[in-house]
Structure 1
């Protein structure tokens, strides 16, 4: 199913003024990037992104102002006939009666914002990318440990929420409990967030439902995080995991995004939250180019 937002969603999100096409705010937007129709105004349509939100800044509007009425009508008419979802004029630019006329006739919303063009493009692209990103929901817990997004997975009752609670007590943050929504915002980027209903809530066996923000302060909760580690909590099995210097890397695929996978076995008295912290910090060091195994082997070699 193709995700979409409506022009009305943009109006609400960015407090946009509606200059024309008010009856067409239900129009759907399915593309996650905006477009500035520069080449199109001079008649080149080979790569026109007609399904994208069209943003008009000072350059585009000032160019239109320099044209004769006949030429301006031609340039605008060539674009509106493609029926893009909407036009947004930045910097509260005025003198747009001719543009309002065409948009009203063609049923295309014409919107306006006080934001500078580059700033608005950045904000709009971020909003559309997140809103239109492919997503799935999985059973698990999502936490942010020292700035590192982690999925905690495992069978029901294995201790995911309890581990998250311990992490929160140590100053880390909850993102989602029970249902984690994963959004693919780029070929390499996976964002974890909550489903809205479970926001800030953590379910603990023998205790019940708690609101982590009310209990531990706003710093205990985070809206979303980039997922970089997938940790599976499993029951302890003798000899199932060996104390090797370095485990063979494994990965979990979510919507074709590969996430490093680790398994942590549970046993009474074992500091699982501490092991999650260690995994997060070790991942960070590897991103900085440090390998504890390589460092250790160099020390052994230096003794010979």
Structure 2
């Protein structure tokens, strides 16, 4: 199971450490933060103790309405489950009673200036990405007109050269050589780089280039949702037919099905242009349009 430390979370959001600084190595394994509401009134049947616990203005205000004895009882009941950490939002100050418990139990207590809604939205996105199941594959990841594309093929087939052509046409590189795929949901696959190769593109006969330095900031983006898997293959005579609609194929990555397209290479073929066409075609299909269906409809109208 993937995990990150409370220290990593603290650094990512510049959180203030109020207590438990000696246990910043505690691990976070669940991707959603939790606001302990029902737990403060004694209901613990479904308490997600593995999650980051966020204390907003509503929770702190409720605790302040209690007597000292009740307050200590309710807080103690939650702290004994030893969640990874507590995070107080909106820079709230009246929390010495929570600080005491967290210091005693070795649970990091952190604070942010963000409002509860803002912080939970940000931390949930962060944890979802950091804890997502992932795999690495050999290929290139691009964002073509806002559409994430995974470009695969044997070494030396021309993936990076094709990517370079697309970048010069105004599209964006995400990753070259090693593409990290993360499953963010049942149907969502994110493509990104491994930090080491960030912004770099390797071109045979030229070497390594930094696309941002060479073509500007718009030539690169950190990540993109993958919606097309395109494989470049060697040309095979009579292997391709000029069909109205090609056979629908898919590739499985981490349990996510991605539409698959094979593009065969031949001197003079505008591979970058074909990839642009594939991306635009996919987008139109999401809007409910099919060129093949429109063509057949025209034929039917002529014959009727």
TM-score (norm 2): 0.99
1:165-208 residue CA offsets vs partner (Å, 9 max, x unmatched): 00001000011111000001111100000111111111111111
Shift of residue 94, structure 1, vs aligned partner: 1.2
User: Which residue of structure 2 lines up, in the alignment, with residue 61 of structure 1?
Assistant: 60
Q: Tell me the equivalent position of 1:211.
A: 210
Q: Does 1:103 align with 2:98?
A: no
The CA distance in 1 between the partners of 2:9 and 2:63, in whole Å, is 25
- What is the aligned partner in structure 2 of residue 137 from structure 1? 136
Q: Following the alignment from structure 2 to structure 1, what is the Cα–Cα distance between the partners of residues 274 and 180? A: 24
Taking the aligned partners of 2:203 and 2:2, their CA distance within structure 1 comes to: 34
1:73: Cα distance to partner? 0.8
Query: How far off is 1:215 after superposition?
Result: 0.6
- 1:170 & 1:94 partners in 2: Cα distance? 53
Partners of 1:276 and 1:95 in 2: how far apart? 58
Aligned counterparts of 2:10 and 2:141: Cα–Cα separation in 1: 31
CA distance in 1, matches of 2:105, 2:210: 50
Q: Does 1:118 align with 2:117?
A: yes
CA distance in 2, matches of 1:161, 1:129: 30
Distance 1:109 1:208 in 2: 47
Whole-angstrom CA distance in 2 between matches of 1:62 and 1:43: 17
Q: Secondary structure at 2:218's aligned position in 1?
A: helix
Displacement of 1:131 after TM fit? 0.5
How far residue 239 of structure 1 moved from its aligned partner, in angstroms, is 1.1
Shift of 1:243: 1.1
Deviation, structure 1 residue 123? 0.4
Q: Distance in 1 between matches of 2:246 and 2:266?
A: 20
The match for 1:157 is 156
Match of 2:243 in 1: 244
* Counterpart Cα distance in 2 of 1:17 and 1:98: 17
Q: Which runs of at least 4 in structure 1 moved beyond 4 Å after TM superposition?
A: none
Q: 1:97 and 1:207 mapped to 2: Cα distance?
A: 62
Over the aligned positions, Cα root-mean-square deviation in angstroms equals: 0.6
Alignment deviations for residues 220-266 of structure 1 (CA, whole Å, 9 cap, x no partner): 01100000000000010011121111011000000000000000000
Q: CA deviation at 1:84?
A: 0.2
Matched, 1:33 2:32: yes
Give matches, 1:178-193, under 5 Å: 178-193=177-192
What secondary structure does 1:303 align onto? helix
Offset, 1:104: 0.7
3-state SS, counterpart of residue 171 of structure 1: coil
TM-score normalised over the length of structure 1: 0.99
Question: What SS does the corresponding residue of 1:8 show, helix, strand or coil?
Answer: helix
Q: Report 1:224-243 matches (<5 A).
A: 224-243=223-242
SS of the aligned residue for 1:195 comes to: coil
Alignment partner, residue 17 of structure 1: 16
> How far apart in 2 are the matches of 1:80 and 1:207?
59
Structure 2: any 5+ residue segments left out of the alignment? none
Give 1:110 deviation, angstroms: 0.6
Alignment partner, residue 299 of structure 1: 298
